[in-house]
Structure 1
């Protein structure tokens, strides 16, 4: 485990339990970024002559990581850009199912457009709530986070796969930002139509890069309108025609997308199964401890499968107390959000628990 912490200098300074807010920069990613910009400094446009090969390689790495053909991988700067582009390509009016109090970057763009909207409640009966609303309201689209950003409530991929089988006409659009990088994910087997993800959290790829995964049947169901010279450039855009390019109308940043490629190589070297196992152990122990300390909301305690994100009871004073002890968490919702990734340890969980108990005295 100690070897997996190497390359993340932040971990030597803080008890960092905040990947749900921002992942960390690994030294290998930093090395790529420094070499890239040095090459740009001394080569100028000569470096950019090779950008097509670099971007094609990144698509292939994304596709390999999540089982999606590279010509169905879109490279976008972040979730919001990709999602808004997709929404603009939906002929309105349409009825959309959202989760009440889901991530604002999902709900706000939908609510600001001319869609009819229905909602399912996020609680211990989330799956039943979704099925009930799908049956009753019969929406054309379902847009949702796989993992909830405030409290970590998670929709299992098994549930989503079955849900798509039960409601095949509904287009599923998933935010994978708080999910991808924590466990193995097979996009083509999932049944989800579109997955969009920023990659600065659990993939530790830095800012300014993200991706979209499209299933084989989505083209024709949405008609994105963004166009630019970059829409026609590149090996995989040519294969896909204009559809993929309409999500990539401008210049693509080889520094940021190259960083994503390096981050995915690091995950491949470690092994996603290893990461999943480490995260599972930590999140199980954390849920047990937080439940015993009466720190979790009832809906989380009552559910079975959960992510490695938890919202524990706490206020601004507790937040400041933890920060003074170099324990990094976030203030979200009505409490403090704590999140564990593969580079965290049981000892760090112990540091947090000790601090929480000391604060109560």
Structure 2
């Protein structure tokens, strides 16, 4: 059994399905289930006495995350979802700050900003889903202050060139915000290399940490200039570090690091499950994962050509992602469903997502079904 077969064996979902839908949500592993059971058992046996140890492990999780993206632990905040993080950001910047984002973005990237009074300009993709950096640059005006982009577009699978976009943001003095929910765990991410000011991801997809936990990186440079307006008991400092010794809770100052985005008691179990999932990824190695998934993408393209099925996500290697789209008929999708292959289908497009637990046999089974039409 090779490395990838051993990893696949950790995911029981493959006992029931050919799972090609990580873009919609990744399955959790047997080790993660075991860790969840351990944590709940510990909580049942110790109650609040778990807190010192769990708090230290949460700090370790920040450190691990920071190392993975080349940030500082003090620049990492835990979030419950990408939408949660964006909600904290809406009030952080003046309303006259105009924003550029992509037409193909998930609504989280623009709905709240528009509702809160920001002017948002959308950059269109071409008919294939490709987004030109030149088209992004053409939208920049003196009023533009923020650029928001997903690393990978959720519907088309187009992967942005974050290095070029980061250079563009640096050139024009723009705040660079990246949603990495569709790429964290399967693609290289470096906030320094890509000049990213804010990076957000929900960890239920390629990280396979389950629902309700993610993280946000905010550069210290940005933290020194701006702060969110949402304040509560947890994201402020009082006159003493001992919370229960504070005499006047009305006297406080907002925290100076990324903890200012954590308003209440952290979801410790979720954070420690995220820690488990990140350690799992770290042991495999993100570079190895990215290279392996690229071999699966290439194999998928070969199979599509052989079966004369149009690959709609036929981008150049620099823009390919783990999300791939095929042009198929409703009758072909019926075959997909009947063979327990889990993938998304809409408007004659079959969207599949490949991860480190998939293999070429999954792709073979898919195309065997498509050939039955």
- TM norm structure 2: 0.88
1:132 alignment counterpart: 138
Q: Using the alignment, how far apart are the partners of 1:288 and 1:318 within structure 2?
A: 19
- Say if 1:56 and 1:353 are closer, same or farther in 2 by CA, change over 3 A: same
Match for residue 125 of structure 2 among 119, 122, 132: 122
- The 5-angstrom pairing of residues 313-352 of structure 1 reads 313-314=327-328, 317-332=331-346, 335-352=349-366
Maintained 8 Å contact 2:76/2:259: no
SS of alignment partner, residue 187 of structure 1:
coil
Maintained 8 Å contact 2:311/2:325: yes
Task: State the Cα RMSD in Å.
Answer: 2.1
- The 5-angstrom pairing of residues 24-39 of structure 1 reads 24-39=27-42
- The 5-angstrom pairing of residues 73-112 of structure 1 reads 73-112=76-115
Q: Using the alignment, how far apart are the partners of 1:57 and 1:333 within structure 2?
A: 45
- The 5-angstrom pairing of residues 2-41 of structure 1 reads 2-41=5-44
- Say if 1:19 and 1:125 are closer, same or farther in 2 by CA, change over 3 A: closer
SS of alignment partner, residue 230 of structure 1:
coil
Maintained 8 Å contact 1:74/1:247: yes
1:151 alignment counterpart: 156
1:196 alignment counterpart: 200
Maintained 8 Å contact 1:150/1:332: no
Q: Using the alignment, how far apart are the partners of 2:177 and 2:83 within structure 1?
A: 13
Match for residue 185 of structure 1 among 153, 164, 189: 189
Q: Using the alignment, how far apart are the partners of 2:176 and 2:330 within structure 1?
A: 37
Maintained 8 Å contact 1:118/1:137: no
Maintained 8 Å contact 2:74/2:259: no
1:345, CA displacement in angstroms?
A: 0.7
- The 5-angstrom pairing of residues 264-279 of structure 1 reads 264-279=278-293
Maintained 8 Å contact 1:98/1:144: yes
- Say if 1:278 and 1:211 are closer, same or farther in 2 by CA, change over 3 A: same
Deviations 1:138-158 (A, max 9, x none): 511111111000120011233
Match for residue 295 of structure 2 among 257, 281, 285: 281
- Say if 1:137 and 1:18 are closer, same or farther in 2 by CA, change over 3 A: farther
Maintained 8 Å contact 1:188/1:215: no
Q: Using the alignment, how far apart are the partners of 1:269 and 1:17 within structure 2?
A: 23
Q: Using the alignment, how far apart are the partners of 1:61 and 1:36 within structure 2?
A: 20
Q: Pick the structure with more helix per residue.
A: 1
1:245 alignment counterpart: 259
SS of alignment partner, residue 75 of structure 1:
strand
Maintained 8 Å contact 1:311/1:332: no
Maintained 8 Å contact 1:227/1:245: no
1:52, CA displacement in angstroms?
A: 2.1
- TM norm structure 1: 0.90
1:127, CA displacement in angstroms?
A: 2.2
Of 45-54 and 345-354, more deviation after overlay is shown by 45-54
- Say if 1:303 and 1:269 are closer, same or farther in 2 by CA, change over 3 A: closer
1:296 alignment counterpart: 311
Q: Using the alignment, how far apart are the partners of 2:159 and 2:347 within structure 1?
A: 17
1:289, CA displacement in angstroms?
A: 3.4
2:177 alignment counterpart: 173
Maintained 8 Å contact 2:332/2:369: no
Larger radius of gyration: 2
2:217 alignment counterpart: 213
1:230, CA displacement in angstroms?
A: 1.9
Maintained 8 Å contact 1:67/1:188: yes
Deviations 1:95-151 (A, max 9, x none): 1001013111212222222011211112335222112222x5751111111100012
Aligned residues: 350
Match for residue 230 of structure 2 among 226, 230, 237: 226
